[in-house]
Amino acid sequence: MNNLSRLIFAYLKRDLILNIIWILVLVSMVAAGLYKLEDLYGNSSSVVKLIEMFKTPMMTIMFCKIPDLNHYNIAIAYGAVMLPLMGALGSVMGIQIGVKGTRMAEANGSTELMLSKAIKRRVPEISSFIEVILVSVVTTILIFLCLAFANMKGQNIKSAFAFSAIIGAFIFMFGGLAILVSQIFSDVRTVNATCYFILGIAYFFRSVIDVKNFDSLRIFSPFNWLESMHVYYDLNLQYLILPLFSGVIFSVVGIYLVGKRDINTGFINEKNRGRKKASFALKGFITIFIRNERKTIFFWLVGVELLAVMYGGLSNSLSTLANGNKNMLLILGVSANTAKRELFQQFSIMAILMIVFFSIFAALVVLYREEKDAKSGAFDSLLSKPVSHKKVYFTYVFGSLISGVLIYTITYLSLFASISRKHLSMAFIFKGYLSYLCVLIVFVLIGALIISAIPSFYPFLYFYLSIMFLLTIMKDLFKVPLWFLKISPFGWMKGAPLSKVSNPVYISFFIISVVCVVIGLYRYKRRDLV
């Protein structure tokens, strides 16, 4: 096929830094998780306690379901923690590669420029498909080498290969999904939102299946395929075929559909309603920005809403689940003699943490639109008008902040509408909302500072947010010291609203927020918009 090899090389060169960063993150997380679990739970008695902890419903929601076995080892616990986490991160990696090489390339004019040369219509998508394969293979090999050289009890060469191969298969599968979805929708935002929504629903579906024991549905849930492989016991490589086969089907169908549509279009296109029927939201910069991001906001809202309702439903059986379950009590940070009131309060705090984390993540995704618009040339039209850097800056900052607050507020209300409020006061609910609202604001404004000063480091903010959230939730499991948790806003709000947060903390949050806005604006004014 004409110029295919050259285009593949060009794609790899274009995405080299991004792919290296992603691969390093995945491999380093595999190594770090291995080292930490071996260090803390290296002996048999500690492994048994750890396994019992993972059998609690709340841990099952976040990670894999622990099987009922006569003997456990550290490898089984490692697989339960790392497989779903690495599968989700690998899926995000595959989506980014797939979207960037297909729909995003069309949106910024790269595909049209390539097709003006001696390149056939489907070659760009085929090149993106091959790039996904190559990145998946390289990631698989490096993770395998990392695990193979580790002396972890319960692991052998076959299990190390199975672990690395299933992660590579998930990268490939969701990369193929991104190629397919890119043919269906004509807008980059819609493609990204749809892919991440499918990923979120797949993970949510796994949680429901595992908690409710719907074993007959496991074959329909991609993240249950991870569990069903039994990587560290009774290895079943048949489930490796499913994501590989799905990835091939998604990619082949997507590449076939390329020839059935015009460039810069999709099979589902938005209708332009015209000026007479224009929305009220088009009257201001911030409202226009929020309207443009409405699909991303909506999909995130639906995903976090499902999580909130699930935690609310779980609270109705909290007393039964926690009765005599020492490990669940340990996760919640309470003792067996703790009153029901405090038990429900600690559970509510954990649920709030989950909601605020995903609300922050959603706001940061919306804020990152600034960097994408800058690279795509969307600011060219702005430069022809008397529009200041200040106005553009506050459009993205306040637009993303409003989006995050909106998602947080709606899902927070849904959580406490579905949760048992018999042991919760209105003061507790109100203080909890305000406390973690401060955390959300600080994180978003830190993101605004980074995207203004050093936008190339912005993707690392996702990694920092995710790691600090997991360490905060799992502080008792990983025995994380409080001083380390305080390198993020989560650590300073530990236990709120049950534990009183001092006024100096809120004052510090306010000062940090103001400093981030001022320095961010200062840096933004002194850089080119494009």
* DSSP string of 353-399, one letter each residue: HHHHHHHHHHHHHHHTHHHHHHHHTTTHHHHTTT--HHHHHHHHHHH
Q: What is the pLDDT of residue 421?
A: 65
Mean pLDDT of the chain: 82
Tokens describing residue 211: 């908690």
First-to-last CA distance in the chain? Answer: 36
pLDDT surpassing 80 at residue 248: yes
Contact 179, 250 (CB under 8 A): yes
Q: What is the pLDDT of residue 471?
A: 83
pLDDT surpassing 60 at residue 271: no
Average pLDDT over residues 250-270: 85
Please tell me the least confidently modeled range out of 98-112, 472-486, 498-512: 472-486
Q: What is the pLDDT of residue 330?
A: 61
Average pLDDT over residues 21-29: 88
pTM over 0.85, yes/no: no
* DSSP structural state of residue 118: S
Q: What is the pLDDT of residue 340?
A: 63
Q: What is the pLDDT of residue 272?
A: 53
Tokens describing residue 73: 């080892």
Q: What is the pLDDT of residue 477?
A: 66
pLDDT surpassing 60 at residue 337: no
Q: What is the pLDDT of residue 384?
A: 67
Q: Which helix (H) or strand (E) holds 190?
A: helix 188-212
Average pLDDT over residues 141-166: 88
Contacts of residue 528, Cβ cutoff 8 Å, sequence gap at least 6: none
| Residue 72: other Cβ atoms inside 10 A | 20
pLDDT surpassing 60 at residue 323: no
Contact 86, 23 (CB under 8 A): no
pLDDT tier at 45, thresholds 50, 70, 90: low
Question: 75-99: per-residue pLDDT in tens?
Answer: 888 888 888 888 988 998 999 899 9
Contact 152, 78 (CB under 8 A): yes
**166 vs 235, higher pLDDT:** 166
Residue with tokens 């020839």: 259
Contact 123, 1 (CB under 8 A): yes
Question: 423-451: per-residue pLDDT in tens?
Answer: 677 888 888 899 899 999 999 999 999 99
- Highest mean pLDDT among 170-179, 195-204, 362-371 belongs to 170-179
User: Above pLDDT 90, what percent of the chain?
Assistant: 24
C-alpha 69/C-alpha 409 separation (Å) is 42
- Highest mean pLDDT among 235-249, 371-385, 481-495 belongs to 235-249
C-alpha 145/C-alpha 140 separation (Å) is 9
Q: What is the pLDDT of residue 306?
A: 82
Q: What is the pLDDT of residue 276?
A: 53
pLDDT tier at 181, thresholds 50, 70, 90: very high
Q: Which helix (H) or strand (E) holds 296?
A: helix 294-315
